[in-house]
Structure formats: C-alpha cells, structure tokens
Amino acid sequence: MNLAEEILSDLIRLLPISTNPRHIDPTAFSVLMTGYNLHHQLEKTLTTFDRVQHPDAISYLLSFQACSQLKDLQRGKRLVKKLEQSNIDLRKEFKLQTALFDVSRYNG
C-alpha cells in the first residue's frame, strides 16, 4: 500500500458511519473522492458520493468526472436528477457544466 492509499484508508476510518451525515462537512467527502479519482478508483468515488447527505458542487463535479471516465450515462442521469433537486445554481458552476457535458457524450 502506497502513502496515498494509506491516507485514503485513514480518512475512511475517520469518517463516522453512524454519525448524522448532516454534521459531516461535504469537503471531507470531496477530499476522499478526489483521491479516489486520482487513483482511478471511480466506483469508490461514486459510493462515497452516495454517503453525502447534502452534496456540494465539488462533490457533484467529482462524481460526474467518475461517471464520465466509466462512460456510465445511466448513473450520470441519476446524478442529474439529484442535482436538479439541490439548491446548486448550475449557471454559476462552469466546471460542473463541463463535467455534465462530458457525461452526456456517452449517450449510447
């Protein structure tokens, strides 16, 4: 196990599973998801995203990037539906717009 994997493993252990997710800052999840994306552990990125009660724009961005790399349009569509229900103003999130476009390229 290399140093990055050890750090990710430590982060996972530190994120309490039983704690109310509203009290966990989405930034902690985003750091973890960034590490997974960098180490091509894309399924773990998406699994981690599912644990976030109120994802922020960065969490969505990282998840859409994982979907794009996996060429998983169906999962990307589910994320879009969840994003539509959030209070994130997509007009202000240019990187998120680009990530959505990247996922939509894999439409069949």
Residue 1 within a domain: no
For residues 84-100, average pLDDT: 90
- Total of domains in the chain: 1
Tokens 């990055």 correspond to 4
Instruction: Assess contact for 58 and 30: CB atoms under 8 A.
Output: yes
The CA distance from 90 to 37, in Å, is 22
pLDDT at 23: 57
pLDDT at 18: 47
Residue 71 within a domain: yes
Per cent of the chain over pLDDT 90 is 44
For residues 73-87, average pLDDT: 92
Residue 81 within a domain: yes
CA 51 vs. chain centroid, Å, equals 10
Q: Average pLDDT, whole number, for the chain?
A: 82
Residue 89 within a domain: yes
Domain range for 78: 25-104
pTM of the predicted model as reported, rounded to 2 decimal places: 0.77
Q: Residue 80 is which amino acid?
A: V
